[in-house]
Structure 1
Amino acid sequence: MLTAVLSALGLLTLYFAIIFVKDYMLASKEGRLEKPSFIATGAVGFATNFFDALGIGSFAPTTALLKQFKLTNDRTLPGTLNVSCTIPVVVEAFMFITVIKVDPITLVALLAAATVGAILGAGFVAKLDVKKIQLAMGVALLIVAVVMILQQLKIFPAGGDAIGLSGIKLIIAIIGNFILGALMTLGIGLYAPCMALVFALGLSPTIAFPIMMGSCAFLMPAASVKFVKEGAYDRKASMAITVGGIVGVIVAIKIVQSLPLDILKWLVVVVIIYTSVMMFKSYSKPVEKKA
């Protein structure tokens, strides 16, 4: 089953990579590559994808750094983010899925749920009040973080260490990841909420990594192909971030593999608290009025 999942992901990524590289080479041959430094944007890719592999997420920090150092423009930013982070995320998925032992049925079910959620849930989610979602997610993540801290301090019973789910817990996980996949269409990241979901259902915190990386890896290639075909991205920045990002991911995964489970749980707590704070921050910002 895992072989079939990885094969499908590999073929999907290969399709994207061929289109991406051909477009980049054609632009290079015709002298249409953008101005920003390949080394500078590559360094951004290394840093942001390093933290992405730790569960922090890459879109927000990549956006901040690219804008801070004026390495791309706002018009091409959405496409650049998707295209540049696609292959690093797929590398994360491949490495975590093959390194961390997960029940195949649980993994496949949750990957499928997130993918279907992003495709079918977009229309429904788009009608929801984003502010209320941000507030609810911020509160929920903060509660999970507090519970994890109390368990780490031995005040509450320790969390679970299962590698798979069955019965009602599996159904809850599928519904939860479907919703998280749909929420991605509103720009709400899947990583920290997925960590919280996995932990709440009694799975080992390590299980969140292949699930959340795999969920995003299946979503991104198809979306990124559209940006490439429409030319709505910065080719040079995307290639540089991709190259730097792959290196950053490999380094980060080596670190995650070597971390004891106790330290990894504290890392998960930090990621969840960070994301909760970002949710509250987004909630506090005034809604931009449409013209």
Structure 2
Amino acid sequence: MTDWGCYLSTMRATAPLVQNITNYVAMNVMANVLLASGASPAMAHAVEEASDFAGLAQALTINIGTASGPWIASMWAAAETARAKGTPWVLDPVAAGATAFRRETSNRLVALKPTVIRGNASEILALSGAAAQGKGADAADDVHMAEDGARALARSSGAVVAVTGPEDFVTDGDTAWRIANGHPLMPKVTALGCSLTGVVGAFLVGQPRLEATVAALAYFGLAGERAAKGAKGPGSFAVAFIDALHNLTPEDLSHGAKVRPA
């Protein structure tokens, strides 16, 4: 039986510096989530320093949610540096299939060999070349519909692919896991999915990428379950969620992870 809590323990002992090139909506929430989890966030996206900062960071995450020309230049520069240095990096292809601009941006970033690609079912289907029904940044496809596409994308890109939803699916193209932790209030708070990408990046530092990704998703979902117990709605849940991330112990995760092979 896998001790998923050991990955949380290692992440916190490392307290990794994670560079996040993310969207305007997510920055504050994502920074607070990473701090509460035990990592050190840096929201460094200026094209003048993105590559240099990627050379300093222990992990990089890229989210195309509010991408524009200058930000995309920063994303490419940072991803190229991370790839050259062997730094783990995570791609969050927000609404990848919505427009030609997003499809092209996502495909060019996939070519730079992310360690992990994390998205909802519609985003992963779009990246895999399958038909998808996304509604903006929201998924209109079920996770199980994207599982074959996720395996194919993992094999073609060399990345671990995480499809997140009510039950998450994570694969490296051969081995796969399902993670059932989480709560229905989580999608009611903006930027939590974007913030999860940062947590995955933090867990990757110095740890095996498939298991670290699974542990990060279980940790995030378990914190949601804990936060929901005293929440009266999305507002109080958002505050309780930050506390839950901070208070969850490796032992809590070892006992509370709802993970099984797929």
Could you state the TM-score of these two structures normalised by the residue count of structure 2?
0.27
- Asked which structure has the greater RCO (Cα within 8 Å, sep 6+), the reply is 1
Higher share in helix:
1
**Greater Rg, structure 1 or structure 2?**
1
Higher share in strand:
2
Could you state the TM-score of these two structures normalised by the residue count of structure 1?
0.25
